Structures are given as structure tokens and as C-alpha cells.
């Protein structure tokens, strides 16, 4: 267990330093680039040079990178030029919004895809299996923005049951809960298509194991075979995949957030990247990677807890 | 499955060899036709390829031509079968022309990722030790990164063009291929025919590319099909986010971005490109499902 922790923390630090260095050099490599981004396209070259000198940006990249890491370590993430707020506040607010969306979606994805995956995988190539496989393949093939447009055209334009935007500010006669329905639906449909096929594949494999045949041959009812013998083993491999979905739910839902004008983390990064808000890009990328690696570690941990063979 | 030695000794130019190849291909096509998902998948993808190739001949209007008269009535009509967009451009023509960049960029990026990933995976699996460790760690780092954030940062920084999109897709998808190939190489390098090639004094590069790689192709082909579908999704998403192919040339994702704000009034403008892109991805993914079924049966 100690080795496990040391190994993963080391990888976390390695990844964070690699990513911070890459993003830092990408944004700040050429001298004058930072000052130019701060001052905008209409500033004269003299103004840019002056600010570059003042901020000490004419020194080598490595020196500045070390300084940047020191500032980060002291807890100062900088100031966002796009939102006119400290980066820490901007990130916290958007991350909280995305966490809400992700939590609701995750709470739907896991039970839905587990049921569909297990039901499909327990009798391979049955009609039910074929149907679920076809459904999940097709659903996972529709890009999120297209799924959003399809659902919105039915429930917003045609039926008028739901609002087309989710700004999280109750207004126009729609509650926040009603606003969440469509974004969550898009994420759940798109993502569970993939998770269902993974759980199904694992279930199919487990059903071919000798101990399942033994359980069937000794006369256990099929229900008991599935619930008592197959389920736990079939969920082993998908657990890591399910944990990886958290990663997608936090950073990858930028498209869904854009469709429904949801003030989330992914859209914040997109805006920062388009607005050339350097402090926010750098800090946002670090937060995203940190969350991604940590969910990876949690996935590994869950796998170990479920599988006594490698608990050691 | 054929052994690479047998395939290698038959030179493709001799008539006997070409007959063997033809027979093998005919058998593969026949096997594919047996699988329903694969048949539907191939049909969809092929249809789009044909439409894209014929776009200059069959598109009723130039893709960027504005028909100001049509703006009064943008809905599908006799003059514009799928209607026009908010600038009076014929949607059917833009869909047909828009199939071209997607069908070039997605497969090119997959090929790039397959080439780079195979080389990295082969080197990691064949040499082992610190080479393996370095490559695996580097791949892990790229894979742990939420890639869409990487796309946003890189494409917003360097500007978006077809080549830049191919570049980022290649770099971010190569680690997945590398992981698959590395796993297979670890197994394949212990085989007798690899030992025989070493005995003959073949170079490491020859052994990796001629003896090992052809035997790893099964899972690779399935993965490349899936990747093509995902790449189509990503290219569409990039266009939708406003960091895809630059306007005014038609790009499916960009067409949705320009018009989804007008859904309450003209839903068809966003629905048509959404349907086009979804059908193409469904095609690629069904093909992958079919190929995997075939692979399992062998």
C-alpha cells in the first residue's frame, strides 16, 4: 500500500510539472508575447517593450518558470484579465458549477449503464443483447452538440417543455432544476453509450468462465448466478473506466456547456484560451490535470479494494 | 491467420501471388458482408465518400454562394432541397462540400497516430528497459490529460488550420495506439519466427516492422475504425466551439455553431449538419463493431 501511494504521488507530481512547463513555455516562450497579450493588438511596440522590461519578462524562460512555480506554491494563482477577478475565485466558481452538472450526470450514468450492460452481457448474442449493443453504439456515435440540437429541437422548439439554455440563474419562468434536465440528458446518453459497451464486454467475458458454468450446472437459478457470482467479477474492469468518466465529466463537457450556455469549467478554459487570459489558462490546465490524475488514482484504488487478489 | 514469413516470401508482382491476394481479399469482403453492422457501416461510409468525391458535380449551388432571394423563405423548397442557412447559402451544397475536409482530416489523423503510435509501441515493447519506461511514462502523461483542453489551448494559440488539427489529433491519439502495440509486441517478440529472424541477422527495425507489426494488425484495424469515428466527432466539436476549420468554407461543426442560436425560428439549419455528422460517425462505429465480431470469430 505504501508503494502504491508513493508511486502514484510521484506520477502526479511528474505529470503536473510536465504539463505546467509545457503550458508555460507555450504561452510565454517568445519575449514580448505576454505583454502583447495584456496590452492588446493596438498597443505600440514601445509600450510592449516597456511592460516586458517592467515585468521582467526579458529574462530566460527557465528562470521565469522557476519563479512561476514558486508563486504558484505560495498559493497565488494570479489575476484573470477576462473575468477581472482573482484566478482562484474564477476557477472555484466554475468548477463548482461543473461539479453540480457532473454529479447529477454521474448519478444517472452508473446505474443506467450497469443495468443495461449486465442485461446485455448475460446472454451474449441474444436479441436483447443485439438491441442494447446497437442502441449504445448509435447513441455513442452522435456528437454531444448534435445530441443537444436534436433534444432541444424536440423538447424546446417543438414541445416547449424545457428551456434551451442553462445559465443557472432562475428566470424566464424556468427553475434551475428544469434548466439542468437537457444538459444532463445529453451527457448521460452520450457517455453511457460507451460505458454500457464496456460493462457488456466484461460481462460477456465473465459469463464464459468455468465458475459460472459450475454455478449453472449445480442448479442455481439464473438470477442467483448473475447476482451472486457474475456481477461482482464483471464490475472489476469497468470500475476504472467508470472512474475515468469523472475526468470526462469535468473537463470534456465543454461542448455540452457551450450548447446550453452553462457557466462551467470547460467553457471557462475555452474563453480563457480564446481571450489569451494566460494566468487563467495556466492555472485551469493544472487544475484539470490534477483532477484527472487523482480520479485515475481513485480508480486504481477502487479496483484494488474490489479485487482481493491484488490487495496484498 | 497467415504467417508473416509466408506473406513475405511471395512477392506481390508474380501472378500466382496476386491470385492468392485476390482470393484472400474476396474471402474477407464476403465475411464482412455476413455481418449486419459491418454492412450498414460500410454502406454509410462509402455513400459519404462517393458524395464527397462527386460534390463538384452534384452540388446544385457553389457552397459559399448567397441566394438573397431565398432568405425570405429559408425552409426546404424545390429550389433548395434542404433549405438555406442564415446567409442564404444552399444547405445541401454546403453539406456535400463539407463532407470533404472531414473525410480527409479524420483518416489522415488516424494514419498519423497509427504510424507514430506503432513506432513508439514497437520500440517500447521490443527494447524494454529505460526506452520502454520513458515512452510509457510520456504516453501516460498525455493520456491523463483531458485532451479537449489541450486542443483548446493549442489551437487557440497557434490558430486553427487543417494541418494543425491533424497535428494535435495525431499527437493525442498516438499514445493509445502505442499502448496497444506495446502490449502485443511484448507477447510477439518471444515467438520462434522472431528468434529465427534474429538468427538470420536481420536488423531490429526489420524485425519490428516486418515480423512483429503485421501480426498486431487485427486489433489495430478495429481501433483505427473507432478512432476515425471519434476524430469525426472531435473535428465537429472543434468547429462547434469555434476553433475548427476557418470560415467561410463549409465545415459541419461550424455550420451548427453559426445557426444553433436560431433554433427557435429555423431549426432545420442546425439539424441538417447535425444529422450529416451523426450518420458518418454511426457508419464508422458500426464498421468497427462488425470488424470486432469478425476478429472474435477467428
pLDDT tens digits for B155-205?
888 888 889 999 999 998 899 889 888 888 888 888 888 888 888 888 888
- pLDDT score for A31: 58
Name which of A59-63, B40-44, B259-263 the model is least confident about: A59-63
- B241-247: long-range contacts, CB 8 A cutoff, minimum separation 24: B241/A254, B241/A255, B241/A258, B241/A270, B241/B152, B242/A274, B243/A270, B243/A273, B243/A274, B243/B151, B243/B152, B243/B155, B243/B156, B243/B160, B244/B160, B244/B165, B245/B101, B245/B160, B245/B161, B245/B162, B245/B165, B246/B160, B246/B161
Does residue B5 surpass a pLDDT of 50?
no
Is the Cβ pair B152, A254 closer than 8 Å? yes
- pLDDT score for B296: 57
pTM of this prediction exceeds 0.90: no
Cβ pair B112, B169 in contact under 8 A: yes
Does residue B112 surpass a pLDDT of 90?
yes
**How confident is the model over B120-147, as a mean pLDDT?**
85
Q: Which of A145, A264, A276, A292 to mutate to test the interface with B (most CBs of B within 10 A)?
A: A145
Say what the alpha-carbon torsion angle B208, B211, B214, B219 is, to the nearest 10 degrees. -70
For residues A180 and A160, give the distance between their C-alpha atoms in angstroms, rounded to a whole number. Answer: 15
Residues of A in contact with B37 (CB under 8 A): 134, 137
Chain A, 227 to 266: residues with Cβ < 8 Å from chain B are 247-248, 250-252, 254-255, 258-259, 266
For residues A285 and B145, give the distance between their C-alpha atoms in angstroms, rounded to a whole number. Answer: 9
Does residue B12 surpass a pLDDT of 80?
no
For residues A175 and B27, give the distance between their C-alpha atoms in angstroms, rounded to a whole number. Answer: 59
| DSSP letter string, chain A | -HHHHHHHHHHHHHHHHHHHHHHHHHHH-STTHHHHHHH-TTS-HHHHHHHHHHTTTTS-HHHHHHHHHHHHHTT---EETTTTEEHHHHHHHHHHHHHHHHHHHHHHHHHHHHHHHHHHHHSTTSHHHHHHHHHHHHHHHS-HHHHHHHHHIIIIIIS--S-S---SS-BTTB-HHHHHHHHHHHHHHHHHHHHHHHHHHHHHHHHTSHHHHHHHHTT--HHHIIIIIIHHHHTHHHHHHHHHHHHIIIIITHHHHHHTT---HHHHHHHHHHHT-HHHHHHHHHHHHHHHHHHHHHHHHHHHHH-GGGT-
Residues of B in contact with A18 (CB under 8 A): 141
- Residues of each domain in chain A carrying CATH 1.10.3720.10: 92-269
Give the C-alpha distances (Å, rounded to integers) separating A225 from A18, A212, A222, B11, B215. 48, 7, 5, 54, 38
Residue A157 contacts B where some CB pair is shorter than 8 Å: yes
For residues A177 and B269, give the distance between their C-alpha atoms in angstroms, rounded to a whole number. Answer: 29
Which of B263, B274, B289 is the closest to A157 by Cβ? Answer: B263
For residues B8 and A85, give the distance between their C-alpha atoms in angstroms, rounded to a whole number. Answer: 65
Q: Which CATH superfamily is domain A92-269 in?
A: MetI-like (1.10.3720.10)
Residue B124 contacts A where some CB pair is shorter than 8 Å: no
Residues 6+ apart with CB under 8 A from B87: B66, B71
Is the Cβ pair A254, B241 closer than 8 Å? yes
For chains A and B, count residue pairs whose Cβ atoms are closer than 8 Å. Answer: 132
pLDDT band at B4 (very low <50, low <70, confident <90, very high): very low
Q: Which of A28, A98, A143 to mutate to test the interface with B (most CBs of B within 10 A)?
A: A143
**How confident is the model over B214-232, as a mean pLDDT?**
83
Does residue B248 surpass a pLDDT of 90?
no
Residue B242 contacts A where some CB pair is shorter than 8 Å: yes
Least Cα distance to B237 among A258, A281, A289 occurs for: A258
Least Cα distance to B186 among B208, B201, B219, B204 occurs for: B208
Residue B282 contacts A where some CB pair is shorter than 8 Å: yes
Residue B237 contacts A where some CB pair is shorter than 8 Å: yes
CATH of B15-297, one of 3.40.50.720, 1.10.3720.10, 3.40.50.2300, 3.40.50.300: 1.10.3720.10
Residues of A in contact with B145 (CB under 8 A): 15, 19, 288-289, 292
- A28-31: long-range contacts, CB 8 A cutoff, minimum separation 24: A28/A57, A28/A61, A28/A64, A28/A278, A29/A61, A31/A57, A31/A58
Residues of A in contact with B137 (CB under 8 A): 11, 14
- pLDDT score for B14: 67
Q: Which of B137, B152, B158, B259 to mutate to test the interface with A (most CBs of A within 10 A)?
A: B152
| Residue B171, Cβ density class (10 Å: 0-12 exposed, 13-18 middle, ≥19 buried) | middle
- A47-50: long-range contacts, CB 8 A cutoff, minimum separation 24: none
- pLDDT score for A188: 92
Residue A39 contacts B where some CB pair is shorter than 8 Å: no
Which of A138, A140, A145 is the closest to B237 by Cβ? Answer: A145
CA distance B164 to chain A (A): 15
Local confidence pLDDT in tens for the 312 residues of chain A? 778 788 888 888 888 888 888 888 877 766 566 777 777 777 787 887 887 777 777 777 788 888 888 888 887 777 887 788 888 888 999 999 999 999 999 999 989 998 898 888 888 878 888 888 888 888 888 998 999 999 988 888 888 888 878 877 776 677 888 888 899 999 999 888 888 888 888 888 888 888 888 888 888 888 888 888 888 788 877 887 787 788 788 877 889 999 888 898 988 988 888 887 888 888 888 888 888 888 888 877 877 777 777 654
Residues of A in contact with B141 (CB under 8 A): 14-15, 18-19
Which of B37, B145, B278 is the closest to A146 by Cβ? Answer: B278
A152: nearest CA partner in chain B: B263
**How confident is the model over B18-45, as a mean pLDDT?**
81
Least Cα distance to B148 among B168, B170, B133, B121 occurs for: B168
pLDDT tens digits for A215-246?
888 888 888 888 888 887 888 778 877 877 88
CA distance A67 to chain B (A): 22
Angle, vertex CA B281, rays to CA B278 and CA B283, nearest 5: 110
Chain B, 138 to 177: residues with Cβ < 8 Å from chain A are 140-141, 144-146, 148-149, 152-154, 156-157
Residues of B in contact with A157 (CB under 8 A): 263-264, 267
Which percentage of chain B shows pLDDT scores above 90?
19
Residues 6+ apart with CB under 8 A from B34: none
Residue A192 contacts B where some CB pair is shorter than 8 Å: no
Count CB-CB contacts under 10 A for residue B187: 12
Is the Cβ pair B236, A145 closer than 8 Å? yes
CA distance A141 to chain B (A): 5
Amino acid at each position: 500500500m505504501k508503494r502504491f501511494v508513493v508511486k502514484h504521488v510521484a506520477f502526479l507530481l511528474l505529470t503536473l510539472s510536465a504539463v505546467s512547463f509545457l503550458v508555460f513555455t507555450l504561452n510565454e516562450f517568445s519575449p514580448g508575447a505576454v505583454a502583447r497579450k495584456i496590452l492588446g493588438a493596438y498597443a505600440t511596440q514601445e509600450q510592449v517593450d516597456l511592460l516586458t522590461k517592467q515585468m521582467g519578462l526579458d529574462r530566460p524562460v527557465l528562470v521565469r518558470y522557476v519563479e512561476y512555480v514558486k508563486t504558484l506554491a505560495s498559493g497565488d494563482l494570479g489575476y484573470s484579465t477576462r473575468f477581472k477577478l482573482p484566478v482562484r475565485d474564477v476557477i472555484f466558481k466554475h468548477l463548482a458549477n461543473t461539479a453540480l452538472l457532473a454529479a447529477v450526470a454521474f448519478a444517472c450514468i452508473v446505474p443506467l449503464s450497469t443495468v443495461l450492460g449486465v442485461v446485455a452481457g448475460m446472454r451474449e448474442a441474444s436479441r436483447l443483447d443485439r438491441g442494447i449493443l446497437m442502441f449504445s453504439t448509435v447513441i455513442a456515435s452522435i456528437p454531444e452538440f448534435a445530441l443537444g440540437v436534436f433534444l432541444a429541437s424536440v423538447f424546446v422548439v417543438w414541445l416547449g417543455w424545457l428551456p434551451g439554455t442553462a445559465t443557472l440563474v432562475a428566470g424566464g419562468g424556468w427553475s434551475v432544476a428544469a434548466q439542468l434536465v437537457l444538459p444532463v440528458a445529453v451527457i448521460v446518453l452520450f457517455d453511457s453509450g460507451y460505458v454500457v459497451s464496456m460493462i457488456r464486454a466484461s460481462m460477456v467475458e465473465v459469463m464464459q468462465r468455468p465458475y459460472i458454468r459450475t454455478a449453472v450446472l449445480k442448479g442455481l437459478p439464473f438470477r442467483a448466478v448473475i447476482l451472486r457470482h457474475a456481477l461482482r467479477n464483471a464490475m472489476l474492469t469497468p470500475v476504472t473506466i467508470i472512474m475515468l468518466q469523472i475526468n470526462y465529466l469535468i473537463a470534456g463537457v465543454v461542448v455540452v456547456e457551450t450548447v446550453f450556455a452553462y457557466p462551467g469549467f470547460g467553457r471557462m478554459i475555452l474563453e480563457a484560451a480564446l481571450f489569451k487570459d494566460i494566468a487563467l489558462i495556466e492555472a485551469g490546465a493544472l487544475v484539470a490535470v490534477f483532477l484527472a490524475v487523482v480520479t485515475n488514482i481513485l480508480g486504481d484504488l477502487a479496483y484494488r479494494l474490489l479485487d482481493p487478489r491484488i490487495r496484498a | 491467420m497467415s504467417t508473416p514469413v509466408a506473406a513475405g516470401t511471395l512477392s506481390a508482382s508474380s501472378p500466382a501471388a496476386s491470385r492468392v491476394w485476390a482470393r484472400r481479399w474476396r474471402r474477407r469482403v464476403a465475411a464482412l458482408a455476413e455481418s449486419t453492422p459491418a454492412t450498414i457501416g460500410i454502406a454509410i461510409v462509402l455513400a459519404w465518400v462517393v458524395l464527397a468525391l462527386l460534390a463538384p458535380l452534384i452540388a446544385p449551388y457553389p457552397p459559399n454562394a448567397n441566394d438573397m432571394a431565398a432568405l425570405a423563405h429559408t425552409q426546404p423548397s424545390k429550389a433548395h432541397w434542404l433549405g438555406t442557412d442564415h446567409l442564404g447559402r444552399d444547405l445541401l451544397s454546403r453539406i456535400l462540400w463539407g463532407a470533404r475536409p472531414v473525410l480527409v482530416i479524420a483518416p489522415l489523423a488516424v494514419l498519423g497516430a497509427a504510424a507514430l503510435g506503432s513506432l513508439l509501441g514497437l520500440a517500447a515493447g521490443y527494447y524494454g528497459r529505460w526506452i520502454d519506461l520513458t515512452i510509457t511514462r510520456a504516453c501516460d502523461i498525455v493520456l491523463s490529460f483531458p485532451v479537449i483542453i489541450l486542443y483548446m489551448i493549442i489551437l487557440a494559440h497557434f490558430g486553427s488550420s487543417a494541418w494543425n488539427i491533424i497535428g494535435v489529433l495525431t499527437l493525442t491519439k498516438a499514445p493509445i495506439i502505442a499502448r496497444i502495440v506495446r502490449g502485443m509486441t511484448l507477447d510477439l517478440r518471444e515467438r520462434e519466427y522472431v528468434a529465427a529472424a534474429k538468427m538470420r541477422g536481420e536488423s531490429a527495425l526489420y524485425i519490428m516492422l516486418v515480423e512483429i507489426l503485421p501480426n498486431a494488425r487485427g486489433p489495430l484495424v478495429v481501433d483505427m475504425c473507432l478512432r476515425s469515428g471519434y476524430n469525426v466527432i472531435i473535428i465537429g466539436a472543434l468547429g462547434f466551439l469555434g476553433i475548427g476549420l476557418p470560415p467561410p468554407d463549409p465545415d459541419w461543426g461550424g455550420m451548427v455553431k453559426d445557426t444553433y442560436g436560431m433554433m427557435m425560428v429555423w431549426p432545420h439549419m442546425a439539424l441538417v449538419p447535425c444529422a450529416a455528422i451523426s450518420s458518418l460517425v454511426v457508419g464508422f462505429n458500426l464498421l468497427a463493431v462488425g470488424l470486432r465480431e469478425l476478429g472474435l470469430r477467428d
